Amino acid sequence: MDIYAENILEHYRNPQNFGKIAKPDISFRDTNPLCGDEIEIQILLNGDRIKDIKFDGKGCAISQAAASMLTEMVKGKSLRDVLGIEKKNILEELGVQLSAVRLKCALLAYKALKAGVCTHLHVEMREE
Ligand code: FES
C-alpha cells in the first residue's frame, strides 16, 4: 500500500476532531446525494479565528479521512483563510487519484465547512 493510502486509513481509524461542540458559533450539515452519507461541521470561534472545530456524521473512509485532515488544516486559522482553501488543497492532502464519484466523498466536509463559514460571514459560496 502506498504512503498516501496509509495516511487516509490512519485518519479513518483515528479521526482527528471527531465529535460535537457544546455551543458552536457555526454549525453546518451537508449530505452526499449519491450515497446519503452526512457530515456536520461545528466551529467555536475566538474573534474571527477557529478556536475549535469538530465533525460528526457517517461516511466512507475517504470522506471521514478528508474531514479529519481538513479540520486539522483549519484549526487556528481565520475564517477568511478558510475562504481561501480550494478543492485542490484537500485533494493534494489526500494525495490519491479519485474518480468523480469519490471526489464527492473527498469534498463532503469541505463543502460543509465552506457553506457554514460563508453563511456565517454572509458571503456567497464559491467552490474552487
Ligand atoms: Fe458516502 Fe463516500 S460513499 S461519502
Q: Which domain holds residue 116?
A: 6-121
| Tally of structural domains, the chain | 1
Q: Is the CB of 64 under 6 A from ligand 1?
A: no
pLDDT in the model for residue 5: 87
Residue 110 located in a structural domain: yes
Distance (Å) from CA 54 to ligand 1 centroid: 19
Residue 127 located in a structural domain: no
Q: What pTM was estimated for this model as a whole?
A: 0.94
**Cα–Cα separations (whole angstroms), residue 110 to 29, 33, 103:** 11, 15, 11
Residue 65 located in a structural domain: yes
Q: Torsions phi, psi of 109, nearest 5?
A: -65, -40
CATH number of the domain that residue 28 is part of:
3.90.1010.10
Is the pLDDT score of 87 beyond 70? yes
Render pLDDT for 103-125 as a digit per residue (tens, 0 to 9): 999 999 999 999 999 999 999 88
Is the pLDDT score of 2 beyond 90? no
Residue 47 located in a structural domain: yes
- Mean pLDDT value across residues 62-91: 97
